[in-house]
A and B are shown apart, each in its own frame.
Chain A
Amino acid sequence: MDSPILQAKNLTKIYGQNVIFQDISLDVYRGETIVIIGPSGTGKSTLLRCMNLLTPIDSGKIFLNGKEITARDANEDKVRQQIGMVFQNFLLFNHLTAFDNVMIGLSKVKKMPKAQAREKALYELNRVGLSDRADHYPGQLSGGQLQRVGIARALAMDPSVMLFDEPTSALDPELIGEVLGVMETLSREHMTMLVVTHEMGFAREVANRIVFMEKGSIVEQGAPDDLFYRPQHERTREFLWKITELYGKKEEKS
């Protein structure tokens, strides 16, 4: 394998007196799909937000394509163009249609010529199966559609890495599949992805690597089969047992 596309080295994040995570290191390689699992309040969201500099870290370094993006002179806006992010609560721009949500980054951030931006936006909407909803406003879309627009918006910037923060947690069960489907296709197309999710089926089938985080540190990581069937740590075992208890029934039904 070549060098990591995204690399976190000894990251520490502190909010006031609370150490959210300490000394976390993670290498993400090109084309990999990494799923991060762990109890809530463990710092998974914070870690993702630190990765694209939405939240400043307190110590450590982050590298993107070998360049340190936490360096003082790094251009944060440029960095974020290269790291796509998909949010638990979608966060679409409420005053823009699905189409304009995808296009605005192209025209205002990338300063792409209008015709080219339109073509690209349509292509990305099509990719998530929503070209027929292009002129709908967020208020007129279902949760699953909102999230797929969110994915298209991030993809439009041609990022090197995509971060997903519990992309299906806010969705009704029957809408989860359409979003996971899009993500699975992306993974097959070798998009580099870092996904926080409780969807164990997705983790087992799609991930190349699973990272188990608890109380602000990485307890264990490895291939899905190793982690699910031969976990090395008691805490991993316990968490997996709890989560299948909680979500397993739902998966069996669908």
Chain B
Amino acid sequence: MLSNFLSYIFQGISITIAVTLVALPAGLVLGLGLALVNTYGGVWLKRLSALYSLLMRGVPPVVLLFILYFILSGNLVNLTPFWAGSVSLGVISSAYQMEILRGALLSISGGQMVAARAIGMSRLQAIQHIILPQALRIAIPPWSNEASIVLKDSSLVYALGVPEILRRAQQLSATTQQPLLAFGAAALIYFVLVFFVNRGLDVLAKKTRLPTQHA
């Protein structure tokens, strides 16, 4: 009985992970593009990307999710709830990831660009080979935080009927009249997932840390 109960929730894990694995990289690609445009682009690109970030971060994720969902599963494009929800979460996350990466890009001293240009690199080469490798290292800890937020926010797609962990917990709670057990199990699973994501990224940060004399 209990094992049936748990295994039903467990089946949602792979969907939660799948949603996160779509949303997080989508947000990264979009966020990185926005951060680069905002840092190195012309005046208008800067303004547009800043406005995008302001709007996206100024509205609750769940409200944005509904808006984006109805766009992505409408007449123009028609994605399944899973894809529409995951992509929407990615778009929402892109604004936060943009800010993280923008901060990291700005923290690299201007001298690095000057030195790269001085040996004949183009701006693009300098960004690719000199600025980004340093900025991405710096971005790992705040990005780890955003990764766990996206993982937790993946639960929002339950509202679209995607059978991930929270959706299943809710169904069980209703049918078994055991809300504490159902949502408790869901909470525990999220906690363990978040824990391992943060741990994994900690390891990555340590592995890529640059040696210094005083370390």
Chain B nearest CB from A140 CB (Å) reads 6
Residue among A89, A94, A95, A105 making CB contact with B119, cutoff 8 Å? A105
Set of chain B residues within 8 Å of A157, measured between Cβ atoms: 119-120
CA distance in complex: A154, B134 (Å): 21
Set of chain A residues within 8 Å of B200, measured between Cβ atoms: none
State whether B112 touches A91 (Cβ < 8 A): yes
**A153 nearest CB neighbor, chain B only:** B119
How many chain B residues touch the partner (CB < 8 A)? 22
With A77-B122, A95-B133 already in contact, the answer to whether A87 and B213 are too (CB < 8 A) is no
**B136 nearest CB neighbor, chain A only:** A95
Residue among A89, A92, A109, A139 making CB contact with B125, cutoff 8 Å? A109
With A91-B114, A140-B213 already in contact, the answer to whether A80 and B120 are too (CB < 8 A) is yes
Chain B nearest CB from A9 CB (Å) reads 22
A70: interface (CB < 8 Å): no
State whether A54 touches B211 (Cβ < 8 A): no
**B125 nearest CB neighbor, chain A only:** A108
Chain A nearest CB from B110 CB (Å) reads 10
Set of chain A residues within 8 Å of B118, measured between Cβ atoms: 52, 54, 80, 84-85, 87, 154
Set of chain B residues within 8 Å of A37, measured between Cβ atoms: none
Residue among B111, B121, B134 making CB contact with A87, cutoff 8 Å? B111
B199: interface (CB < 8 Å): no
State whether B120 touches A109 (Cβ < 8 A): yes
A247: interface (CB < 8 Å): no
**A163 nearest CB neighbor, chain B only:** B118
B212: interface (CB < 8 Å): yes
B47: interface (CB < 8 Å): no
Instruction: Produce 1/0 per residue, A145-167, CB < 8 A to B.
Output: 00000000110010000000000
A93: interface (CB < 8 Å): yes
With A109-B120, A157-B119 already in contact, the answer to whether A94 and B134 are too (CB < 8 A) is yes
Instruction: Produce 1/0 per residue, B103-137, CB < 8 A to A.
Output: 00000000110111111111001000110011001
B72-127 CB contacts (< 8 Å) to partner A: 111-112, 114-122, 125
**B128 nearest CB neighbor, chain A only:** A108
- Other than A81-B119, A84-B119, A105-B121, give 19 A-B pairs with Cβ distance below 8 A: A77-B117, A77-B120, A77-B122, A78-B120, A80-B117, A80-B118, A84-B118, A85-B118, A87-B114, A87-B115, A91-B111, A93-B115, A93-B116, A94-B134, A95-B134, A105-B119, A108-B121, A140-B213, A154-B119
List, sorted by A's number, 18 A–B pairs whose CB atoms are closer than 8 Å. Answer: A52-B118, A54-B114, A54-B117, A77-B120, A80-B119, A85-B118, A87-B114, A87-B115, A87-B118, A92-B115, A93-B116, A95-B130, A95-B133, A104-B130, A109-B119, A109-B125, A139-B211, A139-B212
Interface of A with B (CB < 8 Å)? 52, 54, 77-78, 80-81, 84-85, 87, 89, 91-95, 104-105, 108-109, 137, 139-140, 153-154, 157
**5 nearest A-B residue pairs (beta carbon):** A139-B212, A81-B120, A91-B115, A105-B119, A85-B118
